[in-house]
Structure 1
């Protein structure tokens, strides 16, 4: 794993950990205050002693919140004090007040104005983060995205991965950066979020200004080296060069090996299905044989149904968590959120399994069966024979340059449709006979 991937994974893991701690940990000290609307404003002098959850178009906090704040809005502005964590998602997030603990933020534009004070770490992801002179982070800054312009103070470390990093402020310890010196992020200046100024554009790659002060080491990965001005880096400067190399086009041998690997994977899973669930495979192929056109149509319906089911899981989880939170069953709310997450992930996993493997195995088995019925009827009773023949033809046809994508789509839709029709048939209850009782 290279340096850039390592840092990216670190940021993702830290963000996931922060989200789960914030969402799933029941609150034992404070309750939850929920506010919604077009514009939500916490006025100066107003104090909220609960955790605050806000969804709105614009959110402005000028007062004090004694607890954590979770907000999703187009524009978020923090001018007051948050005595806890801040979790913010939106188009633009501006902090010009105090957050005594961690900040987890995902937004196109992130800005820390001169009065901003972050008591611990800031995890961020977006197109641009800007620290103006006077702003301060008492912990570390972790950011992945487009650019970072740091003219404030970060007491500990800076870990960055993106196109541009401009250092003008003071970093207490180390800077670890992975930058793309060949991509100019001029598009960032075109970002527009109502009520928030568009950010300036930093030069591509790493830039260390004469005013910058780095108390530890400067470790960076880039296409080209830079020379920091004298006196800006107290520790060592370590540079790792990254070269862009386009992968060579696949050779004929590579393509043949890919076909063999794909066939082997489908065939082995098909044998498992034949062995463990013969009735499922036989019933699905019967549906495909008797109603091939209907299978194609129901395949499209099944895709839409899966998408709606996933959306329903999300909406039901949100609705249940809101209801439980309103009656202050915060521990149960965390369990519901975790259960909704597991159900959603299970649905995604089953969908991928059905599309990538099961649907194609069903179609391949039926294709091979129909061919053997005409050429070698005696082989039809040997399940591995139609499975091997049909999957081999399917793998070769889907790899064809002109028609491969079309064959893949038709095969997947037909297989999903056959599974859908078999599932509907199995769920239809047989009518219960009515027995007349003698009087």
Structure 2
């Protein structure tokens, strides 16, 4: 048994699941779509759907046959029939006791494969618990990240797992690669409640290999403590990597000072650029902060809410436009809309980070330095770098204080954003208000 030290656990697992999600969600250029919604959606055993199926409901039950892919979002999803394609399921609980001929991608609190379950290719899952009962079969590989996995069924290829607990009782055709947390008890999993689905049992913490398990390849795992598989359960090698949990080193006084210097330098240099490129914007914003400080604080709170709503609006509009274009089979244009929505969302995030991390603090720092110099050295106010340097130095030092630093940082951001908001509104009103010529 080999032992190594490492702090990384399966970074490729999340990437692999993301790739699978993109593959499943990639729109077909020719497939038709059957969309169904309601409180309870049931595909009867006698029903055959020859299109892709998209379902949103409280409870979804597929007893019949779907010749195509199925995408569903519901509190409870139950597959008893046959899906001749991929299954993408999101919900509180997903139970399969039928057949999915291709890949299954699922995100749910409780995932269970009953004895009659057959997955024709890979299963990609994430959630609190996944359980494969004896008799269930996955013809490909199983990739799961989340709380626990209790595997008593058959997986023809590999198992890749990252979470708290992994219990192996079934047959794995090839290798098992796992990262487990042997120090966290998963008893909370048995308290999960999803209507219509039995709560899963709690697996023991860490990795457990039952005497009935059969692993056709290697067992590679990362944990805090090693385990000894029963004889004859692992055909290949057992490789153990010890995960160490050492607390990060505390920063020294020199580290803290250097961090303050770097933060001040970054704010000061960007502030000089703003003074040089947009002197009227900076001056107008500080005027708003000086004349209406209470309003600045209030509008700062409003601006945070407005940014969140704007980001949500971008997401909803992108989804709505994609659904409309997909329904009329304009899939090429649909891809352009999705890309545009992604770019707009990223631009909004970047502008928000820039405003919060830099511009708001520069505005408040400039005004603080200006107010101090008005009382101590009024002549220095004509030199923009002087109030900027003094105010930012005070803010950097005060916000680094352990007791009040965080509260001061929040106040600075709100005051700065509010002043920027009011200045922007005033500029917009001035540009849109028509100029009335004096009467001759």
TM exceeding 0.5: yes
Equivalent residue of 1:393, what SS?
Answer: helix
1-side partners of 2:300 and 2:253: how far apart? 34
State the Cα distance separating 1:74 from its structure 2 match. 0.5
Question: Is contact 1:23–1:334 with CA below 8 Å preserved after alignment?
Answer: no
Q: Which deviates more, 292-301 or 256-265?
A: 256-265
1:254 aligned to 2:255? yes
Q: Which deviates more, 386-395 or 263-272?
A: 263-272
Listed one character per residue, the Cα deviations across residues 331-360 of structure 1 (whole Å, up to 9, x for unaligned) are: 323332332233223222222221122111
For residues 41-120 of structure 1, the aligned pairs below 5 Å read 41-120=42-121
1:155 aligned to 2:131? no
Listed one character per residue, the Cα deviations across residues 257-286 of structure 1 (whole Å, up to 9, x for unaligned) are: 332232233223323333333333222222
1:180/1:430 Cα in 2 relative to 1: closer, same or farther (>3 Å)? closer
1-side partners of 2:373 and 2:436: how far apart? 48
2-side partners of 1:4 and 1:352: how far apart? 40
State the Cα distance separating 1:432 from its structure 2 match. 6.5
> What's 1:6 paired with?
6
Question: Is contact 2:55–2:73 with CA below 8 Å preserved after alignment?
Answer: yes
State the Cα distance separating 1:384 from its structure 2 match. 2.7
2-side partners of 1:80 and 1:69: how far apart? 12
State the Cα distance separating 1:90 from its structure 2 match. 0.6
Q: What is the RMSD of the two structures over their aligned residues, measured on CA atoms?
A: 3.0
Listed one character per residue, the Cα deviations across residues 72-107 of structure 1 (whole Å, up to 9, x for unaligned) are: 111111111111111111111111111111111111
Equivalent residue of 1:428, what SS?
Answer: helix
1-side partners of 2:373 and 2:16: how far apart? 55
Equivalent residue of 1:250, what SS?
Answer: coil
State the Cα distance separating 1:190 from its structure 2 match. 0.3
1:88/1:15 Cα in 2 relative to 1: closer, same or farther (>3 Å)? farther
1:425/1:23 Cα in 2 relative to 1: closer, same or farther (>3 Å)? farther
1:5/1:93 Cα in 2 relative to 1: closer, same or farther (>3 Å)? farther
Q: Which deviates more, 13-22 or 27-36?
A: 13-22
Question: Is contact 1:30–1:49 with CA below 8 Å preserved after alignment?
Answer: no
2-side partners of 1:43 and 1:107: how far apart? 24
Note the residue ranges of structure 1 that are not aligned, 5 or more in a row.
Answer: none
1:306/1:435 Cα in 2 relative to 1: closer, same or farther (>3 Å)? closer
Question: Is contact 1:139–1:156 with CA below 8 Å preserved after alignment?
Answer: yes
Listed one character per residue, the Cα deviations across residues 305-345 of structure 1 (whole Å, up to 9, x for unaligned) are: 11211222222222222322333333323332332233223
Question: How many residue pairs end up in the alignment?
Answer: 436
2-side partners of 1:20 and 1:209: how far apart? 32
> What's 2:377 paired with?
376
1:127/1:80 Cα in 2 relative to 1: closer, same or farther (>3 Å)? same
2-side partners of 1:301 and 1:19: how far apart? 39
1:17/1:397 Cα in 2 relative to 1: closer, same or farther (>3 Å)? same
1:75/1:242 Cα in 2 relative to 1: closer, same or farther (>3 Å)? same
Q: Which deviates more, 65-74 or 243-252?
A: 243-252
1-side partners of 2:38 and 2:417: how far apart? 42
1:141/1:180 Cα in 2 relative to 1: closer, same or farther (>3 Å)? same
1-side partners of 2:430 and 2:34: how far apart? 47
State the Cα distance separating 1:31 from its structure 2 match. 1.1
2-side partners of 1:141 and 1:352: how far apart? 38
TM-score, with length taken from structure 2: 0.92
